[in-house]
């Protein structure tokens, strides 16, 4: 990436990131009013476990094969 565009790229990424955070806070507040605090925590925990599982699968698929030594 050209150095003179790096600041714009990072600020654009930050705008997207912060907008996502704001939307998630709004959605959490609406869910809290609709289903209650316990259900929001259970849903949040389930989403975290799903994200961990998907991350583990993605990491396993992209792991390079082991390097064999010259003697084997």
pTM score, whole prediction: 0.60
| Domain boundaries defined on the chain | 3-62
Quick check: 5 pLDDT over 90?
no
Distance between terminal CA atoms of the chain? Answer: 42
Quote the pLDDT of residue 54. Answer: 96
Quote the pLDDT of residue 36. Answer: 95
- Give the separation between CA 58 and CA 43, rounded to whole angstroms: 22
Q: Work out the number of other CB atoms within 10 angstroms of the CB of residue 8.
A: 10
Which pLDDT band, with edges at 50, 70 and 90, does 16 fall under? very high
Look up residue 71 and give its DSSP letter.
T
């Amino acid at each position: 990436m050209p150095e003179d565009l790096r600041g714009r790229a990072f600020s654009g990424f930050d705008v997207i990131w912060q907008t996502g955070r704001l939307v998630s806070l709004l959605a959490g507040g609406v869910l809290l009013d609709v289903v209650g605090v316990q259900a929001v925590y259970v849903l949040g925990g389930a989403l975290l476990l799903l994200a961990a599982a998907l991350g583990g699968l993605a990491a396993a698929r992209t792991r390079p094969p082991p390097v064999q030594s010259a003697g084997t």
